């Protein structure tokens, strides 16, 4: 009984090593630029050993993307009606910025997939992602109608939050070189700036609010 359990642990370890290495390679070179040889070398495995776990580069790529969408949508799902609208949206902004800090490789993998026309996740974009954004757009419109939020286009608000937060992951080398900073240093400043920017844009004008 002990031998199968040991083999399962080794398989799980090697599979995870392959996926982690592939995340590095795909996020750096994109799907087209990445090779199985690069992934195997980064994982510390031979190419035949890698192919024992995944039959192709495409299989590794699909496995990485399979769990990515749930992670991507989780911060937006946490946007709830019961809280203060401005603080709820600022909370979403901070969660997205934290994702860029903690998961830069995943952010770049997602960006590369989108730039290629989203061939592997188009169904999810047109399905789960669109449905969730539609739902939250309706909530934002409700808050505006209640006078609890300044008038904004809800879809472009979401797009702008994606753009301003994911920039720090997708263009991290540019951010760090322009600022002359290393590591996580830009994120605290980014949070302060973006919080002020969006709070100013979203807070209702008491003279016009209902």
Predicted TM-score (pTM) of the model is: 0.84
Average pLDDT in the 71-99 region? 94
Is 153's pLDDT higher than 70? yes
Average pLDDT in the 45-66 region? 93
Cα(182)–Cα(170) distance, rounded to whole angstroms? 15
Q: Is pLDDT larger for residue 67 or for residue 165? A: 165
Contact 182, 81 (CB under 8 A): no
What totals of helices (H) and strands (E) does the chain contain, helices first? 12, 0
* Domains of the chain in sequence order: 2-65 (1.10.10.60), 67-202 (1.10.357.10)
pLDDT at 209: 52
pLDDT at 157: 98
Q: What is the mean pLDDT of the chain?
A: 91
Contact 56, 164 (CB under 8 A): no
Distant-in-sequence, close-in-space partners of 151: CB < 8 Å, separation ≥ 6: 144
DSSP state of 149: S
Average pLDDT in the 198-203 region? 98
Contact 110, 68 (CB under 8 A): yes
Least confident of 41-50, 67-76, 100-109, 146-155: 67-76
pLDDT at 68: 84
| Reported confidence tier of residue 7, pLDDT bands at 50, 70, 90 | low
| Reported confidence tier of residue 3, pLDDT bands at 50, 70, 90 | very low
């Amino acid at each position: 009984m002990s031998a199968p359990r040991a083999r399962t642990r080794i398989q799980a370890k090697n599979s995870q090593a392959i996926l982690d290495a592939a995340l590095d390679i795909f996020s750096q070179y994109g799907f087209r630029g990445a090779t199985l040889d690069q992934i195997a070398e980064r994982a510390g495995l031979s190419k035949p050993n890698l192919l024992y776990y995944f039959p192709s580069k495409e299989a590794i790529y699909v496995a990485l993307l399979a769990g990515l969408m749930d992670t991507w949508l989780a911060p937006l799902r946490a946007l709830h009606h019961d809280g203060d609208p401005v603080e709820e949206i600022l909370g979403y902004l901070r969660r997205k910025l934290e994702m860029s800090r903690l998961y830069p490789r995943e952010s770049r993998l997602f960006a590369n997939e989108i730039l290629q026309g989203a061939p592997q996740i188009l169904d999810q974009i047109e399905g789960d992602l669109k449905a969730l954004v539609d739902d939250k757009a309706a909530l934002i419109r409700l808050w505006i109608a209640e006078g609890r939020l300044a008038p904004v286009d809800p879809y472009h608000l979401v797009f702008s939050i994606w753009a301003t937060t994911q920039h720090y992951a997708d263009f991290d080398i540019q951010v760090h070189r322009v600022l002359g900073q290393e590591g996580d240093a830009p994120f605290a400043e980014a949070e302060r700036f973006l919080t002020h920017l969006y709070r100013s844009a979203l807070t209702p004008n008491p003279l016009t609010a209902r």
